[in-house]
């Protein structure tokens, strides 16, 4: 019984992370739909989607050789944004948030010693690193940000 309920908890976690993903198998489409209707994106989910969109634009700018602008201060909300239900900030989460912010800031550092492409890919790797501990659903999408 204990195993059952912890599996169920895990399922809920996974589902709340995967709602943004559109590729649901047909068989569970109906039950998934109900969850989707009730789904209110958390502050964190909104921030994450904004971070994704921003880094997509940065990637395009880098590939086009254009200026990437400045570090978006909104990203600092990763330390405070409200999470979905069933989620909380533990120490791992907090250290990944810090590493991610450092990497994203370094991307905009004019005196950096490594190439812009490698700094950008480092940002993406930190998105993925945190997601491996927290929320694996969006990882395949995030990987598409890598500059090859």
Query: By C-beta, is 62 or 130 nearer to ligand HEC?
Result: 130
Task: For the CB of residue 123, give the shortest distance to ligand HEC in the complex, in Å.
Answer: 6
Q: Which positions from 11 through 70 interact with ligand HEC, judged by CB under 6 A?
A: 16-17, 19-20, 41-42, 44-45, 48-49, 51-52, 55
103 touching ligand HEC, by CB under 6 A: no
Q: Which of 62, 96, 107, 120 binds ligand HEC (CB under 6 A)?
A: 96
3-state secondary structure of 23: coil
Among 32, 77, 106, 134, binds ligand HEC (CB under 6 A): 134
The burial class, CB within 10 Å (0-12 / 13-18 / 19+), for 77 is middle
Total residues contacting ligand HEC by CB under 6 A comes to 29
For 70, other C-beta atoms within 10 Å of its C-beta total 8
Local structure of residue 73 (DSSP, 8 states) = G
Determine the 3-state secondary structure of 135 from DSSP: coil
- Composition of the chain by helix, strand, coil, percent to 5: 65, 0, 35
Helical segments of 42-81, H only: 43-63
Nearer to ligand HEC, 115 or 140 (CB): 140
C-beta separation of 61 from 108 below 8 A:
no
Q: Which of 58, 62, 100, 120 binds ligand HEC (CB under 6 A)?
A: 100
**Rounded Cα–Cα distance for residues 88 and 134 (Å):** 10
Q: Is 87 in the site for ligand HEC (CB under 6 A)?
A: yes
Q: List residues binding ligand HEC (CB under 6 A).
A: 16-17, 19-20, 41-42, 44-45, 48-49, 51-52, 55, 83-84, 87, 93, 96-97, 100, 126-127, 130-131, 134-135, 138, 141-142
């Amino acid at each position: 019984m204990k195993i059952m309920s912890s599996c169920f908890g895990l399922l809920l976690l996974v589902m709340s992370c995967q709602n943004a993903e559109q590729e649901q198998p047909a068989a569970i489409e109906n039950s998934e739909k109900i969850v989707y209707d009730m789904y209110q994106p958390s502050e964190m989910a909104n921030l994450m989607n904004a971070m994704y969109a921003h880094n997509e634009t940065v990637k395009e700018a880098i590939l086009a050789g254009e200026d990437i602008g400045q570090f978006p201060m909104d990203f600092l909300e990763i330390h405070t944004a409200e999470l979905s239900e069933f989620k909380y900030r533990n120490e791992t989460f907090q250290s990944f948030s810090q590493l991610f912010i450092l990497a994203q800031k370094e991307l905009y550092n004019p005196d950096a010693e490594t190439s812009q492409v490698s700094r950008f890919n480092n940002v993406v790797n930190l998105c993925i690193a945190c997601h491996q501990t927290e929320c694996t659903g969006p990882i395949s999408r995030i990987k598409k940000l890598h500059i090859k």
